Structure 1
């Protein structure tokens, strides 16, 4: 179990990269490049067959990385990523079964569920979870949605993900209920495939330097 709280995990960097590992041999070097650039919180998705092994390797070999799992959609996967060493798990949505699994495993892994509606948000609160992902952020209203949710749910904090760019990120970061943003732009497929780690580190440094819009 991570000693960090979910909010501390998300606040460790301005951006949480959403990472799909296509070649397991790139996982550790990719993680090193991101951490070197000032992006320590890494969401390794289960979208490819290498997700669990990538979590294991990065957790074991990359000092300073805060390793989590993404695209966790059921209790079985939640247990698998916890066993692999993930410190947190992020889901694209939330339902009662996943909420119950998260509550059962609260002592071994942090759950940061994705929500798109006030109802899902209230389900999370009922199960003691107040740090969430808004997904897919741009599709469900983006900044306007977050501003609307802040009224009745001022104590809830978010990592909006989905359609966010380096250009739009500062406007999200300026909102009082946003801790960070999630995005895929830090790990371009061509750069990873070509093992262009300097480019990855450069993108990470730029992301780490993002400031809230004034």
Structure 2
């Protein structure tokens, strides 16, 4: 049986970054300029959600950029995980805990970060040998106080809070020692991509990266 998927494994896949841009990209033509803008702002990783028809091609295009460690998000099935890794995903993120997705990622040799919202789900993830989970949706669940409450009885767990987070929340999450990285879409929203506002994406990314280093 494979050993635990640790926070160190994911940290390596994220290239040591503590901010994870979460991207829903509807047009393949935006993939390359988006990757350029993120990298130009100092991002070292990105998560492409599997919510659009072109998600695989977008992931593949962004992974080929070379400046970003790109993973796949909103992965719901083992088949999606397999397609994501074939497209170049360096890690896999799921909104919830699904044993078959975890098993497939182990088989493929990639870090997997399942979403949890309760202590029961977190215990299931620990039983599966996982040491890093996604707290989702972080802000609707109660934000940093909920994170503290969940982290206290599980001192070995690392969290990637995601969901409803923006720049104003970033410092509070990153200040908690159990937080490995923070995921968010505010750096590159659907509106930014629709307008082709890559300068603003670069600016917001640079701001988030700077905040993560303070």
Fold shared by both chains (TM-score > 0.5):
yes
Which residue number corresponds to residue 159 of structure 1?
A: 160
- The count of aligned residue pairs is 207
Matching of residue 86 in structure 1 with residue 99 in structure 2? no
Which residue number corresponds to residue 111 of structure 2?
A: 110
In 2, Cα distance between equivalents of 1:15 and 1:51: 21
Greater Cα shift, 148-157 or 96-105? 96-105
Note if contact 1:171-1:212 (Cα within 8 Å) is conserved in structure 2.
no
Q: 2:79 is matched with which residue: 76, 80, 85? A: 76
In 2, Cα distance between equivalents of 1:11 and 1:160: 18
Following TM superposition, by how much is the alpha carbon of 1:126 offset from its aligned partner in structure 2, in angstroms? 2.0
Following TM superposition, by how much is the alpha carbon of 1:211 offset from its aligned partner in structure 2, in angstroms? 4.4
- Segments of structure 2 that go 5 or more residues without pairing to the other structure are 1-7
Q: 1:35 is matched with which residue: 14, 33, 39? A: 39
Note if contact 1:40-1:64 (Cα within 8 Å) is conserved in structure 2.
yes
Matching of residue 173 in structure 1 with residue 174 in structure 2? yes
Following TM superposition, by how much is the alpha carbon of 1:148 offset from its aligned partner in structure 2, in angstroms? 1.3
Following TM superposition, by how much is the alpha carbon of 1:103 offset from its aligned partner in structure 2, in angstroms? 3.2
Give 1 or 2: higher helix fraction.
Answer: 2
TM-score in terms of structure 2 length:
0.90
Note if contact 2:158-2:178 (Cα within 8 Å) is conserved in structure 1.
yes
**Compared with structure 1, are the counterparts of its residues 204 and 212 closer, same or farther at alpha carbon in structure 2 (3 Å cutoff)?**
closer
Note if contact 1:14-1:207 (Cα within 8 Å) is conserved in structure 2.
no
Matching of residue 55 in structure 1 with residue 48 in structure 2? no
TM-score in terms of structure 1 length:
0.90
In 2, Cα distance between equivalents of 1:63 and 1:95: 30
Note if contact 1:170-1:212 (Cα within 8 Å) is conserved in structure 2.
no
| Structure 1 residues 38-84: Cα deviation after superposition (integer angstroms, max 9, x where no partner) | 11210000111111001111112x12210100000111111110111
- Segments of structure 1 that go 5 or more residues without pairing to the other structure are none
Following TM superposition, by how much is the alpha carbon of 1:133 offset from its aligned partner in structure 2, in angstroms? 0.7
Which residue number corresponds to residue 195 of structure 2?
A: 194
In 2, Cα distance between equivalents of 1:12 and 1:186: 19
Matching of residue 44 in structure 1 with residue 44 in structure 2? no
| Greater than 4 Å deviation, 4+ residue runs | none
